[in-house]
Amino acid sequence: MAVELSPIDKAKFVAAKRAVDCIEDGMKLGLGTGSTAAWMVRCLAERIREEGLQVQGVPTSSRTAELARSLGVPITTLDEARWLDLTIDGADEFDPELNLIKGGGAALLQEKIVASASDQMIVITDAAKEVRQLGAFPLPVEVIPFGWKSTKTLIEELLGSMNVLSCECALRMKDGAPLLTDEANYIVDLHLKRINEPRQLSMALNQIPGVVENGLFIDICDMVIIGHGDGSVVVRDANSREIKGERVEFEPSDNVFANPED
């Protein structure tokens, strides 16, 4: 039985389904985190059930690991897999060069480690995430809890010398307390509005003591698949610079909705 989806969920679903079609038998996969990546895990589980696809997945968060287990997707650790064929993940923003901002789901550290240990990274997203210039979405920076206020002060001092539109920084909270990542770190969100030199900013942030990693993904993404609510997708390839439109069947079965992520 087909399930009725909202236009935004249709867009996420078709992007995820198109990306999962790139997976080949025997691959070791990085499994991203977030609402669009959750669609990918469901579509992957359906291929495993229907086709007997043999894969191993490395989740980028405890949430993704829980979802994969519940759907019967085999998972392992990055240490066991050692190197991956493909990572499929979402993004909070991407620019024309396929540079990304990630970390809205507070999983940026594991996401960047896993993506960097992969032969290829495919980003699945909807059209609203495409921007001419990064920075409208707050840039997450993962910091250790010890001395986090001093680290935040150093970040603010750095931003004063960078080519950004705003320098506002805020500790991310949850239920009245600092949000904790899977590594028990904090997230400081940088509300920059515009980032003119993302590569320079990324390198400078990671030089600050107390900063673990930042959410700028530079030269990591190989392909972006943009889903639309009418069932079409646009595929952008970073290497060939090719942009092509395709159509994807967007009527998911009930099986795809098994144990959906909240």
Q: Which residues are catalytic?
A: 111
Residue 135 marked in a binding site: no
Residue 112 marked in a binding site: no
- 19 to 70, 197, 215, 221: CA distances (angstroms): 21, 29, 22, 13
Residue 222 marked in a binding site: no
Show the CA angle centred on residue 70, arms to residues 252 and 63, nearest 5°: 95
Residue 102 marked in a binding site: yes
Residue 218, helix vs strand vs coil = coil
Residue 104 marked in a binding site: yes
Residue 92 marked in a binding site: yes
At 254, list the tokens.
């009930």
Residue 12 marked in a binding site: no
At 118, list the tokens.
């992969």
Specify the amino acid at residue 216.
L
Residue 91 marked in a binding site: yes
Residue 237 and residue 223 in contact, taking contact as beta carbons nearer than 8 Å:
yes
Residue 105 marked in a binding site: yes
Residue 214 and residue 206 in contact, taking contact as beta carbons nearer than 8 Å:
yes
At 239, list the tokens.
């290497």
Rounded (10°) angle between helices 35-51 and 62-71: 30
Residue 227 marked in a binding site: no
Which segments are annotated as binding site? 33-36, 89-92, 102-105, 129
Which segments are annotated as binding site for substrate? 33-36, 89-92, 102-105, 129
